[in-house]
Amino acid sequence: MQSSPCVKILGLVLGLLFLSASAQAGVPTEQIKGTVDKAVLVLKDPRLKPAAKTKERREQLREILFARFDFTEMAKRALGSNWRRRTPQEQDEFVRLFTDILERAYANIIESYTDEKIVYINERIEGGFVDVGSKILTSRGEEYSVNYKAHLVSNEWKVYDVIAENISLVNNFRSQFNRVIANSSYEELLRRLRDKAEFAGVPKK
């Protein structure tokens, strides 16, 4: 899997989730910060740092971080118009496989946590949707923009997309998935997803 702007997307997604900085923000950002604080505690826990504790550490991180994502909505958007053509059983299977892709894609990046800072720029709420704008500042003086899109589900703001440097995580997956379906079939897409290799890294532009 060759490096692409999407490598930055995944890194910045995790940066947004892991890195905390003081900001004037409303409930959506505060909920994200709560997730951040829990994740950072796990990452800094000396008991979980040894290689022998990798599985336990990742399970704890998964429980914390993945509670903030609406994987059904992300999967639906990533599959695009093809979602409506699938049966409820097929949709359930796709959500499971898509969630597994993201989990595997994040696993190695999760543990590259460093002390970059994040500054929240704005928070725009329209009905049950929110767009949290932010910038990530690295120790090398680099600056990246990140928009964090979520919707309200039972009083919790659940993530359904992340836009890093104007590149959408979900749109990039959709481009890949649509390409496979157009060139072959939906069944071929499922085969590649189950193979755990084709999409083991990050989506390509």
Identify the CATH assignment for 5-195 out of 3.10.450.710, 2.60.220.10, 3.40.190.10, 3.60.10.10. 3.10.450.710
Kindly indicate the confidence band of residue 97, based on its pLDDT and cuts at 50, 70 and 90. very high
pLDDT in tens, 38-76: 877 887 788 988 889 988 988 888 888 788 889 899 999
pLDDT of residue 205: 44
Closest to 196 (Cα-Cα) out of 97, 111, 110: 97
pTM of the entire predicted model: 0.76
pLDDT in tens, 138-197: 778 888 887 889 999 998 999 898 888 888 889 988 999 999 999 999 999 999 998 865
Domain boundary assignment for the chain: 5-195
Strands (DSSP E) found in 42-193: 117-126, 129-137, 143-153, 156-164, 167-168
pLDDT in tens, 99-111: 888 776 665 555 5
